[in-house]
A and B are shown apart, each in its own frame.
Chain A
């Protein structure tokens, strides 16, 4: 392993007593006071996250729009300036290299990718950038990403900015100041709650983090462990669990971000077309009763025959029961279908459940 990367906030997390772990080459806080406490704070009030390990790649140049449109699976042309969209990046076999957010601005496009896939995304994009008039800039290590998530996120952040946050729509972003520091303010997140992701220069990281913590005495820092339980309750896929280089978007219910008919079509449209034809699985939510807790890797059965596998599972802090995301045969996908998850050798009932398991405060504008 090479030297561990530190975010500009690492020392603050350590001072706060966070347990730090290696995560995709970064030293990150996994937990501060406890998963359940941090999770509940985010659901009922607000939580603060250091997500500076996420990769930001900025695309400029006269052919940036055509380039990104051909690289990602979702349709960039549907996006207004300042808009963000969720998408996949797929390889020559139509398999998922990463899932990402793309932001479209007047003069540049931002790609925000998973820390663990930073090198793979960079390699794929740069390989194909040769054929376009574009420039790529990996700004990951110059940018701090702080997220504030929860039903009280807007009033808390509003205290520190002259921007009117109430008119910043879900999945849009704009430049503005917080505590006098210029940054990208994005109304996005990975918790199912309303909230903001702030992309700022490293030099202001500490001032902004401390300023937010000071602005509200019930705001709590949240580690990666609670980030995982929050996203799972919201039914969001995670790369490495649901998504992988072994699966196409069609295997994991991501057809909704895979637009083969867009113009120009994805570079790997043919492979995606083939992947669509052969796909037999989908992603479902499963709920369990009692204190059975599903875990990644547990088999999913119907009438004694294997029909899939749990890809993420936990004890839901909100619902107080076991919940899972699982990749299963499409024939068993109907809501309410009773399946079994094999927990330590014993089949336990699990019911196909509509996602999200928990509907948070996120404001969707249709």
Chain B
């Protein structure tokens, strides 16, 4: 259930690292806990994020949850499907495909050291199993 090729955070986000670019989304567990997602606020392309910053929010029917930058860097892309004004607006994609089509942003880092400190899939599995 938890992809082995991704990194994770304690805030139930995943990070796919390709060179100096990191794609960020929320995990299956996170979307399952939130329930039906109706809106995701993502930052504009060009925004500079500091690790730990709030970079957006996820609104579901039930609740609202902040998104935290898993790493520091510059936003170089966001998922158009999550932008309300876009023709392809489809926030429920985060429920149906959290690790693929429901990605949120791509962050470009200055150097590889910025990618350190994330959890591997085993550590994240343990986190989910512990119920936190």
Given contact pairs A314-B61, A315-B59, A315-B61, A290 touches B84 in the complex (Cβ within 8 A): yes
Q: Is the CB of A317 within 8 A of B61?
A: yes
Q: Is the CB of B64 within 8 A of A291?
A: no
The distance from the CB of B52 to the nearest CB of chain A, in whole angstroms, is 17
Q: Which residues of B contact A225 (CB under 8 A)?
A: 35, 61-62
Within 8 A of A (CB), among B59-86: 59-64, 84
Among the stretches A28-36, A123-131, A152-160, the one at the interface with B is A28-36
Q: Which residues of A contact B61 (CB under 8 A)?
A: 35-36, 39, 225, 229, 314-315, 317
A1-43 near B? 1/0 per residue, CB < 8 Å: 0000000000000000000000000000001001110010000
Closest to B92 in A: A36
Is A293 engaged at the interface, CB distance under 8 Å to the other chain? yes
Is B39 engaged at the interface, CB distance under 8 Å to the other chain? yes
Closest to B57 in A: A344
Q: Which residues of A contact B60 (CB under 8 A)?
A: 315
- Chain A interface size, as a band, is 10 to 19
Q: Is the CB of A291 within 8 A of B62?
A: no
Is A295 engaged at the interface, CB distance under 8 Å to the other chain? yes
Closest to B38 in A: A315
Q: Is the CB of A291 within 8 A of B84?
A: yes
Q: Chain B: how many interface residues by the 8 Å CB criterion? A: 13
The distance from the CB of B83 to the nearest CB of chain A, in whole angstroms, is 11
The distance from the CB of A247 to the nearest CB of chain B, in whole angstroms, is 24
Q: Which residues of B contact A295 (CB under 8 A)?
A: 63-64
Is B36 engaged at the interface, CB distance under 8 Å to the other chain? yes
The distance from the CB of B64 to the nearest CB of chain A, in whole angstroms, is 6
Q: Is the CB of A31 within 8 A of B35?
A: yes
Complex Cα spacing A344 to B54, Å: 11
Q: Which residues of B contact A31 (CB under 8 A)?
A: 35
Q: Is the CB of A293 within 8 A of B36?
A: no
Complex Cα spacing A229 to B62, Å: 8
Given contact pairs A291-B59, A293-B64, A344-B57, A315 touches B35 in the complex (Cβ within 8 A): no
Q: Is the CB of B39 within 8 A of A314?
A: no
Q: Which residues of B contact A344 (CB under 8 A)?
A: 57
Closest to B91 in A: A291
Complex Cα spacing A31 to B39, Å: 20
Q: Is the CB of B39 within 8 A of A291?
A: yes
Q: Is the CB of A34 within 8 A of B35?
A: yes
The distance from the CB of A285 to the nearest CB of chain B, in whole angstroms, is 17
Complex Cα spacing A34 to B39, Å: 16
The distance from the CB of A220 to the nearest CB of chain B, in whole angstroms, is 15
The distance from the CB of A224 to the nearest CB of chain B, in whole angstroms, is 11
Q: Is the CB of A36 within 8 A of B59?
A: no
Complex Cα spacing A35 to B61, Å: 7
Q: Is the CB of A293 within 8 A of B62?
A: no
Closest to B66 in A: A344
Closest to A290 in B: B84
Q: Is the CB of B39 within 8 A of A293?
A: yes
Q: Which residues of B contact A35 (CB under 8 A)?
A: 35-36, 61-62
Within 8 A of B (CB), among A308-366: 314-315, 317, 344
Q: Which residues of A contact B91 (CB under 8 A)?
A: 291
Complex Cα spacing A295 to B39, Å: 14
**What are 21 pairs between A and B in contact, CB < 8 Å?**
A31-B35, A34-B36, A35-B36, A36-B36, A39-B61, A225-B35, A225-B61, A225-B62, A290-B84, A291-B38, A291-B84, A291-B91, A293-B39, A293-B59, A293-B64, A295-B63, A314-B61, A314-B62, A315-B60, A315-B61, A344-B57
Instruction: Known A-B contacts: A35-B36, A315-B39. Give 7 more (CB < 8 A).
Output: A35-B35, A36-B36, A36-B61, A291-B38, A293-B38, A314-B61, A317-B36
Of all A-B residue pairs in the complex, the 4 with the closest CB atoms, nearest first, are A291-B39, A36-B36, A293-B59, A315-B38
